Chain A
Amino acid sequence: MVHAELTTEESGILQALTDQFGDAITGHEKFADQFSIFVERAIIFELARFMKEEETTGFDLLSDICGVDWIKQPERRFEIVYNFYSIKKNLRVLIRTTIPDSDKPSIRSIEPVYSGADWMEREVYDMLGVEFEGHPDLRRILTPDGFEGWPHRKDFPLTYEAPRFSYNKDNPPEIIK
């Protein structure tokens, strides 16, 4: 892995975030031309607002939200990667945070700040089972009604028997193990 130096703009962003949030910024990484900042999950909503509205940051486009399941590390099992992009500065920053394993993993929704986050969060919820608190309409998006299980978790087997589709919501399809 190639570790490169931070550019002036990138260290400026890191400095602004550290000034604002202090210890909640837990580290950063530069791989090739990709700049990531690791943060505590508690601040994610405030951070999204700061990223969008402050003059020093100005990330107007939320490019993507994605979830990774690190099943072998229960204390940081679900990694959520927020991909912020600033059109004006032409700068991309990945904000990465982790959620420990539990029955009901959850994180604050940033939908009130970036409305584009709506479907991205629904997809992470659908695939990984991470709940987004404060999301106005948290439903499954890609899997059929009544689907059980979280497909992108590593303990979800790749070869279930195909679910039987039904148009009857009250009598949802049964997944045969």
Chain B
Amino acid sequence: MTTAAKTMTLNMGPQHPATHGVLRVVLELDGETVLSATPYVGYLHTGIEKNAEDKLYYKALPMTDRMDYLAPMSNNLGYVLTVEKLLGIEVPEKVKFARVLLTELTRLNSHLVWLGTHALDIGAMSMLLYTFREREMILGVYEAVSGQRMMSTYFRVGGLAWDLPLDFDERVKEILKVFPVKMHEYEDLLSNNRIWIKRLTDVGNLTAQEATDLSLTGPLLRSTGVKYDVRKARPYSGYEKFDFDIPVGKNGDCYDRYLVRMEEMRQSLRIVKQALDGMPEGPYKAHAPGVVLPPKKDVLSQMEALIFHFKIITEGFKVPAGSYYHPIESPKGELGYYIVSDGSTKPYRMRVRPPSLINLKALNTMVTGRLIADVITCIGSIDIVLGEVDR
């Protein structure tokens, strides 16, 4: 009997509600069993890396928000840390704490959207409404610090755009109070739900060997039991001062990924609490004449500050020649920026290591030999953002 006559090619996407954006997957099917899945990406390609080569360093920053639009602060953080490393700038303690606090809120934001949409794909519709309700509070913090709810661009090379708002503490305390209760509610709805367990357990299994071979990072890698987290392996922005654990899974299936991400949200709340309690007083940007804008009151009263302000805005700042790769742990995995400078005011080359794109490669391994309904589960549990896949 030949199977060739029985196989069917099915095109899923690009406009499919469960592909989380414009992802197209070509499935080779034998009945309901998937023989292979080939993702086609690039529908959102906007050439962010190429565009950055023609922009001043501070003008390339807002484009990074548009990649992983669910985690804008993480993208900003990776970029500013890489440029700061090339410049050799050390930022004040307060900036480090504020950055850690806000990127951990970003992780919560990203994981909440993941949880809501993943559950929606599987049929637990109410989760989406609950997670988006809680996400509002985090977007409220973004709006308070930067004026924008999604594309915040709050971090700057050498510090923050401006000081934290007066009601910042109050807003974050509210999140810390509400979230642990809500987390219990989510887990009540899902963790022991029979449908949820059946749809997720032993679906999309990966072994540790497969995961490292495929260069996977983030919750996808940790669910297979490999304890690799950039925050611990190579602490940046003062992460070494915080006390938190790295949750790892055992089986590397979709259910373990769910558990890992839920525990990560708890750990993020722990970090947020420590960062808020230990937030030091001090300036919100580094003192680096010619690179970081001087304080406004100096610009209005001192000739030199005015000149620096004018020169930074019109000409930008020069970055010493060299190249540097800086990874950070974004909600999706290892997000790295490789910036090559030729000593001018624009990046010669900016390469972004997109965790979503590299993790998406695992889809074929995860779904081969499984049923077509599991493809949706697996795409959901990889947690991709197509803005970052295509850049």
Contact = CB atoms under 8 A, between A and B. Distances in A.
Nearest to B365: A115
A51 interface: no
A124 to B, nearest CB: 10
A175 interface: no
Chain A interface residue bracket vs B: 35 or more
A87 interface: yes
A158 B327 contact: no
B12 interface: no
A118 B360 CA distance: 12
Interface string B133-176: 00000000000000000000000000000000000000000000
B353 interface: yes
Interface stretch (B248-256, B310-318, B334-342, B366-374): B334-342
A126 B68 CA distance: 21
Contact of B42 (A87, A120, A141): A141
Given A32-B85, A142-B42, A60 B336 contact: no
A114 B212 CA distance: 9
A119 B213 contact: no
B333 to A, nearest CB: 10
Counting chain A CB atoms within 10 Å of each CB, the highest count among B212, B217, B321, B390 belongs to B212
A106 interface: no
Contact of B213 (A66, A115, A158): A115
A143 interface: yes
B233 A116 contact: no
Contacts of B324: 31-32, 34
B177 interface: no
Interface in A85-120: 87, 90, 92, 94, 114-120
Q: How large, as a class, is the contact surface on chain B?
A: 35 or more
B42 A66 contact: no
A144 B233 contact: no
B358 A81 contact: no
B266 interface: no
A68 B340 CA distance: 8
A118 B216 CA distance: 13
A118 B358 CA distance: 9
A116 B322 contact: no
Interface in B34-54: 41-42, 45, 47, 49-51, 53-54
Contact of B353 (A2, A63, A115): A63
Given A64-B351, A68-B349, A116 B226 contact: no
A116 to B, nearest CB: 3
B305 to A, nearest CB: 28
| Most chain B beta carbons < 10 A, residue from A83, A94, A151 | A83
B338 A81 contact: yes
B320 interface: yes
A115 B211 CA distance: 10
Nearest to A113: B213
A1 B50 contact: no
A64 B338 contact: yes
Interface string A1-24: 110000000000000000000000
Nearest to B43: A144
Contacts of A1: 320-322
Interface string A43-74: 00000000000000000111110101100000
A141 B41 contact: yes
A3 B226 CA distance: 33
Interface in B211-252: 212-217, 226, 228, 233-234
B357 A64 contact: no
Given A31-B322, A152-B50, A158-B54, A61 B338 contact: no
Given A151-B50, A152-B49, A114 B41 contact: no
30 contacts: A1-B321, A31-B324, A32-B324, A34-B324, A34-B325, A62-B215, A63-B334, A63-B336, A64-B336, A64-B338, A64-B353, A66-B338, A66-B351, A69-B349, A81-B338, A83-B325, A90-B234, A92-B325, A115-B213, A116-B214, A116-B216, A119-B357, A120-B215, A142-B41, A142-B45, A142-B390, A143-B42, A152-B49, A152-B50, A158-B51
Given A64-B351, A64-B353, A116-B213, 4 more contacts: A63-B334, A83-B336, A92-B234, A94-B325
